[in-house]
Structure 1
């Protein structure tokens, strides 16, 4: 391919992976896969909606180059789903118009437009070729070349609410990692001669049949250590077999196992063979019969187009649809193995024909996420590809309340024609006049509002979108939050997102309100009754459970539907919350995250996660808490007195104040270096020497077994070596952070550190006999300083300099920030964690992994985000249609790495029964109006509902209970409920509160305790 055959778009090319940009993606794909991608060239044919969605995701992911081919001129209807095209591009080649805008997404990806002939010489320049909007005959022709040269080939298309993907990655395609999960690992407790391996029963091994493992630190079977990986047969959650180990010795003790990801190959067939005998990956297990039908149907559509100059059937045109059905019948007879004896579903084929010209943004987003991930698999070898056909549909999203006809699905010459072709003008107008609330404008939020702009959601006379996010844009966001550009860093996400989609679709101007208010109890005066009551629906794009639960509670209270979603690397989930029909988001929760026992953290780590958590605590203890306590001491006169009364660590706090204000207060950066060197000695030599003094390597327990066994790994004190990078990094990062606390100028000049370190005097250390070390969490917490009485504490407090002598003096607490590579935060935690790992002979972690764990980062990639957002908006169509059948909605779970697609009906909301009345536990409530008295409330429920209220509460305050003393009750009966709240809580009812919520316990007519809904009292 000559230089003259394509137009180059300027973009920067860099051999190194930009961790600042790709950090969240690196956690998903890994450095090896990323490097392979950065050397891969991809060709994409077809730049309508699906093509640009794929292009966007592939560009954000960071391949070496993406070449576009689509010489067709832009048409108005292309704007239905092609977000990089505008009305001014009409008549211009779709590829030429798209390329410069696509290039803005990632400076490291070379974007070009191919303008020559895509012959065999041209195709062999690429590692992956993707076709959209091409005939099956063209796909077969291209695939013949790619299969011959073992070039990955993908063909995909969207037809209304139907989509198709085909993969052919050739023969012997190597998969480096099938699922991307972290390798399983654990501690061995026994291995017998038959190779049956038992592990400690506190953690499952998480292995599967066919996995491979290696071993280290085994005593007695030393031949297994670091040997060739052994294949696993799972025997149970805490045992597996590795084959006979006879002749290798007898197991004595110890040992660690680690899973090894062994590459494997798969073979795929070319399209021409798969058309006749297809292999399907099922996208919905409730529709197992559908892929063979659609396999025939998509070929029938092509047959129709071949007869009509490339034109697909007209929307809702029975004559065209019947012709497609006729072609499908012929194909089914010619390919009997496809349907395998099943009857052709003519109704389904007819619906496919009705929708064939449709191009819906949610379908484009869904298929675009899937296809782009397949392209990344092809170029990296990471994860398992689709083998070989996938068909997907969302027929449940068709409107039921808005009939479709040939007349109301006909084009009207607008940007929405391809949506109208499927849904009809009436339902399209319904979408345009929705009033929607989007909470969050990060990765999912950007994709969500992009879809809405293309759909025209909220753009009608009565429509409106409110978007809120109090976060600002960071560099790491640019890799997956595609509405943002480098020049937007530091600006508010909601503002930039709103401006970007108005440029995408000018109809949205005046219909989007961007706010920077966090949605929570503190903003209920902003997001008040009028706001919530004015909404049609709510969509979450949040990244934390607490905020999601709050929005969920608001939606339940105001009876608004909620669309919920989330991603974790290649995994994604969606949930529909619909009033009176489904359970709420808060009705079910994930199990709590397993915590690390304190004794493990303090003295007995055995995994790198333990040392990272410990290092994070050290960071807090060195650079955050002491500075905060110093500032409190200097600003609050009663701080010491309060500490002596209330703190569980009075001595520690007072000694910290003395150290940071007097004995260890640095005046120069040299003193900060010396401080860091001495802290190295304390943490990694002295504390370990003390631990081994208390528990020597040959120590035994009361039962006679070795103390240092099982999960307890015997440590080794470290001797400081300035030539060791990890040792030196601890001192460099620690000294700079200590200097930050005191406002001193730091340095990273090795010469400065070498000079100071040569002159640091390290005191001799001798272990103490009175130090107690906690062995398990049931024992008292360690006390390595000995007992101290009240008199000594008071004396220690009195030795502190008085705040008046330090007027205006303050320390600067460090605010942990994981994404700033210049602030030494992650550097310090990485060095500290790895030094601790060296103490305990644990495999250290690189900076990237440490950052992931210490920063509690959620791995994220654009492909999953796009797919999940597409699925959410397919449900939004149903919400807009106000479907009332539970089976109409679908909750989804996907894992693109496997790949796996699972859908299920939402769980129905729970019903309650009292006095022969049935109510909805979540969505129903007792609605009252006016500030009635407590007595009036009790009488009302007894007379109207047959319920005797035994307890009444508001928030966390118990307002009334039948067991209260009579005199106390007498004082409350006459109080209006607002006054009762103020009397009990000692706080006034908020002025903006228009409705109050009360929880009640009640007995029914049979004097039985029954569960009932809450009370909603409208004040005004």
Structure 2
């Protein structure tokens, strides 16, 4: 790095958001490059699963703040003389806390993002726009990564371009007609696990199926009262009866979800008239209900003798039930067995006994139930057990339940490793990719700092702006003798219709049933959809209808809570009905947007799982999947771009890397440039 670039880094004030996989590599690179004024913000603590790629952390750091430990580890790289000159401030905090507002951001010359979720990225993007501070964004997935540069007035903001959104699955598909592994995994995690092991009052869509089967048609009855009673009946079924043993309870649940419910669904002939749709089959519950080995494993406490804990019972019920049963191969379908005999191991991995899933379902389920009861006893309240991808029992139960349901519907079963990835939305990270991306962030940051240092309107600033690049680690078959490289492209221009940086020019239309949706449901939906932190909702006719924040008066809180329960059409000012414009603000993000509501009744839940239609003018709405990579532009014989060489462009080639690139954002082919 040239001396001028080093001088800029050492004299500039930098904000790093995120101290995880990319953040560790980035902080190390910044310190080595002689950056001296750095703030780091990260809410997360160190987990054992981080240690394989977040190299600033060690076993002794597990449970400690990522930001604080990263600071200490990075400073340790430096000799004492330089250590005294390097100021690194660590914040173990949430970037959305009020102290990290627009005024806080204004003190920095550039913000460097190493976050792992779109919601937080949008929040930082809006603060950078409001504070007029450039943002260098980044992300990796496996061996694919990208670094993008966002400078107000020069390039697009982070939200100008479509981003992948979480896939929503219709409840009726999950409950009645699953046909993919992800369907059965979501059913096992979000319906069955939550219903069995959630806290008091939890009623999922699985229990609502019980409601529908038990409701009666009585013209004189109160529908709301009937629904409440039905909820109580449904919730009661998924709790052990008085005196019922945990193992017997799990057998009863097994019979309900893998036998009785399957019989009911089979009776819905209209579901199976579709050509090629296979009717589900029931499972033989009687062969599993009296297995002594499973009962023994389910009842065991694996806490080590003499091990101290606030709750030794809970500690002992955290161990793997599958391993205790001898099913210790997490990469084999349906809980395979590791064996010293190669033939036996291969046979088990390729065609494991179907009973393995049932055994693990019962054993892990009993242990989870016992843990839930032990926690409720020690806490004095039943808050339940939440799903955690790093909880062996939770992932085993979800995998087993999913595989059993897959057997019913003829869907391919999964290994614990694969199911854990899908249930936990895990993006497998590679340390090398993080290191490459961190280096690219610093390379781009030094250009941004040159831009900031140049006089506004000067030729120098314009020249530096032309050097800014978005850089992608992508498949590149045109590179002679290789498949992969780093591909720089010119940043996208700002989208005139962007509802974030376009001055509200982009219009949003939301179509829904205004006679069904409540104000609270609308506010919750818009808050999540638009990644707002503290939304304020108003209409011209009724004024302010909804607001969130810690500084509200008691009477304001009471008013908003009352209005939140009302149907949209019943709100003051003639309600929110067809054609009403809703004005949304988030003062913490300096964000304003208008949403036009259209009334549409009877939306098909299969086609619209969220029971609404979200339409953004100009086509900048979030998309389910990023577009596939287009063919890169043709190059001349020596591998150089027809556009000519550029000193700031970089290509790195690794002929041994192989990577899947489904659903990975690709650079615009028409702007591809390489040397």
Does the pair score TM above 0.5? yes
Structure 2 match to 1:718: 283
Residue 648 to residue 580, structure 1, CA distance change in 2 (3 Å): farther
Matched, 1:674 2:248: yes
Residue 681 to residue 531, structure 1, CA distance change in 2 (3 Å): same
Matched, 1:684 2:258: yes
Residue 690 to residue 473, structure 1, CA distance change in 2 (3 Å): same
1:303-357 CA-to-partner distances (Å, cap 9, x unmatched) read xxxxxxxxxxxxxxxxxxxxxxxxxxxxxxxxxxxxxxxxxxxxxxxxxxxxxxx
* Alpha-carbon shift at residue 708 of structure 1 (Å): 6.1
Matched, 1:467 2:46: no
* Alpha-carbon shift at residue 650 of structure 1 (Å): 2.6
Matched, 1:707 2:283: no
* Alpha-carbon shift at residue 831 of structure 1 (Å): 0.7
Structure 1 match to 2:391: 820
Mapped to 1, the partners of 2:113 and 2:428 lie a distance apart of 19
Structure 2 match to 1:265: none
* Alpha-carbon shift at residue 647 of structure 1 (Å): 9.4
Aligned length: 433
Question: Which of the residues 426, 436, 439 maps onto 1:870?
Answer: 439
Residue 621 to residue 983, structure 1, CA distance change in 2 (3 Å): closer
* Alpha-carbon shift at residue 651 of structure 1 (Å): 3.8
* Alpha-carbon shift at residue 815 of structure 1 (Å): 1.6
Mapped to 2, the partners of 1:537 and 1:448 lie a distance apart of 14
Residue 956 to residue 809, structure 1, CA distance change in 2 (3 Å): closer
Asked whether the 8 Å contact 2:127–2:590 carries over to 1, the reply is: no
Asked whether the 8 Å contact 1:626–1:660 carries over to 2, the reply is: no
Structure 1 match to 2:526: none
RMSD value over aligned CA atoms? Answer: 4.0
Structure 1 match to 2:196: 622
Structure 1 match to 2:486: 901
Asked whether the 8 Å contact 1:555–1:561 carries over to 2, the reply is: yes
* Alpha-carbon shift at residue 874 of structure 1 (Å): 1.2
Mapped to 2, the partners of 1:997 and 1:606 lie a distance apart of 41
Structure 1 match to 2:369: 738
Structure 2 match to 1:811: 382
1:505-532 CA-to-partner distances (Å, cap 9, x unmatched) read 2424450000111111xx12x1244422
Mapped to 1, the partners of 2:380 and 2:557 lie a distance apart of 42
Residue 837 to residue 985, structure 1, CA distance change in 2 (3 Å): closer
Asked whether the 8 Å contact 1:565–1:575 carries over to 2, the reply is: yes
Asked whether the 8 Å contact 2:103–2:131 carries over to 1, the reply is: no
Q: Which runs of 5+ in 1 are unaligned?
A: 1-418, 631-643, 746-805, 913-918, 926-953, 969-977, 988-992, 1002-1010, 1012-1020
Structure 2 match to 1:589: 162
Residue 614 to residue 659, structure 1, CA distance change in 2 (3 Å): closer
Residue 906 to residue 443, structure 1, CA distance change in 2 (3 Å): same
Match of 1:853, SS state, is helix
Structure 1 match to 2:25: 447
Asked whether the 8 Å contact 1:743–1:812 carries over to 2, the reply is: no
Mapped to 2, the partners of 1:599 and 1:730 lie a distance apart of 24
Q: Between Structure 1 and Structure 2, which shows a larger proportion of strand residues?
A: 1
Mapped to 2, the partners of 1:580 and 1:528 lie a distance apart of 21
* Alpha-carbon shift at residue 956 of structure 1 (Å): 3.6
Mapped to 2, the partners of 1:600 and 1:503 lie a distance apart of 54
Asked whether the 8 Å contact 1:563–1:575 carries over to 2, the reply is: yes
Asked whether the 8 Å contact 1:471–1:492 carries over to 2, the reply is: yes
Matched, 1:481 2:54: yes
Asked whether the 8 Å contact 1:910–1:920 carries over to 2, the reply is: no
Question: Which of the residues 93, 99, 106 maps onto 1:517?
Answer: 93
Structure 2 match to 1:343: none
Q: Which has the higher contact order (CA 8 A, sep 6+)?
A: 2
Asked whether the 8 Å contact 2:134–2:152 carries over to 1, the reply is: yes
Question: Which of the residues 855, 860, 871 maps onto 2:424?
Answer: 855
Q: Which one has the largest radius of gyration?
A: 1
1:837-887 CA-to-partner distances (Å, cap 9, x unmatched) read 111222210100000001111111111111111111111110111143543
1:698-734 CA-to-partner distances (Å, cap 9, x unmatched) read xx88xxxx72632x22211110233622111111111
Match of 2:462, SS state, is coil
Residue 519 to residue 691, structure 1, CA distance change in 2 (3 Å): same
Asked whether the 8 Å contact 2:251–2:362 carries over to 1, the reply is: yes
Matched, 1:884 2:462: yes
Mapped to 2, the partners of 1:603 and 1:628 lie a distance apart of 21
Residue 490 to residue 996, structure 1, CA distance change in 2 (3 Å): closer
